[in-house]
Amino acid sequence: MLQLQQVSVAYQTSQVVKAICFSLQAGEIGCLVGPSGSGKTSLLRAIAGFEPVSQGQVLVNGEVVSAVGVQQNPEQRQIGVVFQDYALFPHLTVGENICFGLWRQPKAQQQQKLQQLLQLVGLSGMAGRFIHQLSGGQQQRVALARALAPEPRLILLDEPFSGLDADLRDSLARDIRDILKQLNITAVMVTHDQHEAFAMADWIGVMAHGSLQQWGTPYQLYHQPSNRFVADFIGQGDLIRGEMLDGYQVKTCLGLFRQAQHTGFAAGTAVDLLVRPDDILHDDASPLRAKVLSRAFRGAHMLYQLQVGMNEQISCLAPSHHQHQLGEMIGISVQIDDLVCFARAVNQV
């Protein structure tokens, strides 16, 4: 349904998006995540047709809609857009906002579509309300319904939950995913919040400095990051020093770890091993001890920052009824299923 082939975007002489490639099948949801200034929104605007591409091409359902010398108008692309600020009309009712793009259709057909969409997004009976009478979450649902009204091939969402509180963001993300899946609509969402991406996406692209660092499933990004940036940006994790004993085993201060697949590193290579908080288990019976440096209450869990050996630091997510004081030595055990190793830089000690 959507293909990006070596897509670049430039403003004057500054290239802000560089040779991006990815694709989505019909009904799949993709998310672009990354820090501010990484090029996420510029790429989304290029897909929508609001910005021309300086290289490569964008295809929607096999049709080239953007390329050098080709710029199909946004309204011809059959793409719905949900903007960060919703862009709803305050002087129009909910129903009038949703039907705004249906003015060519007969009134009876508009009303039938309106009732279907209101039920779909959970706003039945609210067609006559004005925008200022709605909560933020309800306004977001109106914006989605308006984007869905013309029956687009593709939906683009630009930071759609940024103005909402955390609990509402999570529930709304799940609801919108369910709606898009029910309608089998392909979607691309831009966000800086990886939790939103995990809640919404089938595929996630991590961007930095205008480049796509990795495109994969949420599981792949978390457990098999392709580089240090992705490992640091997705989830929490620490890199500890290790040495490869062979291509399958790495020796660290936490012990010896191995996997069935070759890591790609030769024996004797100095590496950094990625350790996630869920790899570290609180275990009073374990002979491996760690010093509590800090702790943060997370409701059902406590996130501990621990020191192992001379100066290695790791995180541990333990049940919150395990209360330990700063400076206390606690027992831990380690379960690492995927060895994610990066070659240690020459200037690292």
pLDDT at 230: 93
Write b or e for each residue in 234-273: b if 16 or more Cβ atoms lie within 10 A of its Cβ, otherwise e. bbebbbbbbbbeebbbbbbebeebeeeeebebeeebebbb
Q: Give residue-wise pLDDT tens across range 240-288.
A: 999 999 888 999 999 999 988 888 899 999 999 999 998 999 988 999 9
| pLDDT, average across residues 189-216 | 93
Q: What pLDDT digit, counting tens, does each position of 98-141 carry?
A: 988 787 788 888 888 889 899 888 889 888 999 999 988 889 88
Predicted local distance difference test score (pLDDT) of residue 19? 95
At 348, the pLDDT band (50, 70, 90 cuts) reads: low
Residue 347: pLDDT band with limits 50, 70, 90: low
User: What per-residue confidence (pLDDT) applies to 160?
Assistant: 83
Instruction: Please tell me which residue, 162 or 220, carries the higher pLDDT value.
Output: 220
Residue that wins the pLDDT comparison between 105 and 187: 187
Question: In whole angstroms, what is the distance from residue 207 CA to residue 44 CA?
Answer: 12
> If we measure between CA atoms, which residue out of 252, 233, 241, 204 comes closest to residue 342?
241
Which pLDDT belongs to residue 54? 94
Report, as an integer, the average pLDDT of 147-165. Answer: 87
Which is more confident, 345 or 111? 111
What are the start-end ranges of the E strands in 12-167?
Answer: 14-24, 29-33, 55-60, 63-67, 70-71, 79-82, 154-158
pLDDT value of position 346: 62
- pLDDT of 164 higher than 80: no
Could you identify the residue written with the tokens 């009478």? 133
Name residue 66's beta-bridge partners: 58, 71
Q: Which of 133 and 168 is assigned the larger pLDDT?
A: 133
**Phi then psi dihedrals of residue 245, to 5 deg:** -85, -35
Percentage of the residues of the chain whose pLDDT score is greater than 90: 53
Residue 304 has pLDDT above 80, yes or no: yes
- For residue 3, the model assigns a pLDDT of 96
The H or E element spanning position 109 is helix 107-120
Q: In sequence order, which residues have a C-beta less than 8 Å from that of residue 346 and are 6 or more positions away? A: none
Q: Which residue has the higher pLDDT, 19 or 320?
A: 19
Q: What is the pLDDT of residues 47-76, one digit of tens each?
A: 999 999 999 999 999 999 999 999 999 888
CA gap 255, 95 in Å, rounded: 63
Query: 21: which residues sit within 8 A by CB, 6+ positions away?
Result: 4, 5, 6, 7, 212, 215
